[in-house]
Amino acid sequence: MPNPAAGAVLAAASRLRFPVLFKVTLALFVVDLLVPDLIPLADELLLGLAALLLANLRTRAPEPVVKSAK
């Protein structure tokens, strides 16, 4: 059964764009690495944020080249 608090945090994080989402994930990872178990559910949040990061990674189609008419 998923934790409601983790679900709320991940729902809010899903609206973030990639650079901000990456910084939030990195900050949480560093804090969890330096001080284990400081934040409850940090491991679950990290997994969810990593999934959101991977979902935001996508290759964009190259923009079409527009030739000027002479």
Q: How many CB atoms lie within 10 A of CB 69?
A: 4
Q: What is the pLDDT of residue 1?
A: 47
Q: How far apart are CA 70 and CA 53, in angstroms?
A: 45
pLDDT tens per residue across span 37-52: 777 778 888 888 888 8
Is 67 within a domain? no
Q: How far apart are CA 26 and CA 28, in angstroms?
A: 5
Is 62 within a domain? no
Establish how many alpha carbons lie within 13 A of residue 5's alpha carbon, considering only the half-sphere containing its beta carbon.
6
Is 27 within a domain? yes
Is 28 within a domain? yes
- Confidence (pTM): 0.61
pLDDT tens per residue across span 2-46: 677 777 878 888 887 778 888 888 888 888 888 877 777 788 888
Q: What is the pLDDT of residue 70?
A: 62
Judge contact between 28 and 63, C-beta under 8 A. Answer: no
Is 68 within a domain? no
Q: What is the pLDDT of residue 49?
A: 87
Is 61 within a domain? no
Domain count, the chain: 1
Is 32 within a domain? yes
Domain carrying residue 14: 4-56
